[in-house]
Structure 1
Amino acid sequence: MSNQKKIEQAVYQLLEALGENPKREGLLDTPKRVAKMYQEIFSGLQENPKDQFTAVFSEGYEEVVLVKDIPFASMCEHHLLPFYGTAHVAYIPSQGRVTGLSKLARAVEIASKRPQLQERLTAQIADALQEALQPQGIFVMLAAEHMCMTMRGIKKPGSKTVTSAARGIYKEDKEARKEIIAMIHNKEK
């Protein structure tokens, strides 16, 4: 568990280092608020995404399972600025073993709640599902806007970074990968 007081002290010192007065009215409780916020947005450091796949059912189903447009937010470990977007998680069960659909979204949530790189986040989600279910194939795609590219540096709001991780059939079979990408991009009416 993170240390609330240490975070508060660090935020207080940061405000001072920026030339701000942490004792002025508007900033008095800022260190406490920021510490509480950081404990929430970095809560994934206390959990493992693969632990979400404890509910496994034998259904005899061996076709595509896709949960798409899962919103997520994370923090870029290089600048401690947010990046946010959507995740798409697909797998083809092996031996009919499926998991609860909400578990896929929960794994995304946990993996995103830590200092991250989008590339690592994508792989961690795929690896957690692989370890838990050993499916025939896994495909994870994330599309996100990074505030480190919007607020600073290049300053290009609206630009998206897309990453993917393919395992099993989706890594080996180009047609299967094309099919899942088409399913992800399909907008139902």
Structure 2
Amino acid sequence: MITFRRLAGADLPLVGRRLSHPHVARWWNQDSSPEAVARDFGPATRGEDTSENLIALLDGEPLGLVQFGRLADEPADRAAFASLVAVPPHAVTLDYLVGEPDRVGRGLGTRMISAALRRVWREYPRAEAVLVAVVAANTASWRALEKAGMTRVGSGAMEPDNPVDDPLHHVYRADRPS
């Protein structure tokens, strides 16, 4: 069973290790040094960030990281999505990673995304949709989104996290179940 708990200060070394794994570093392209992790994730542990950062747990053991955010709280991100697709007023976006290399390619990312979507519908009652942008070259990620029930609704240029990537991104959407 996949559950979530809020990111805590004690989790920052774990986040740093996960960000340093090649399968994560390739797509997140984020400094994994203790100082950078404290700078980038510390505000979330103190409730100072508009996004929600959660440790995903598989049967109580850390599996990955999931970030949720209301696009209305991030004007630049909202504008990037809106350049490609319609963005509902209360849309939420998410980002995710499966931390350990031996857990990649086993369907756990799909399960984590599915659990994350259920959490969005529960925790964000006004959210009409979840939008996720993924660089087109990250086939494993967008396939996991599709397997989790999300639909590709657009493709186009967005600023990639990693400058080695082409700007082509696919945008996926899940609508609130009725």
Please, what TM-score do these two structures have when normalized by structure 1? 0.30
The structure that has the greater radius of gyration is 1
Structure in which a larger fraction of residues adopt helix: 1
TM-score by length of 2: 0.32
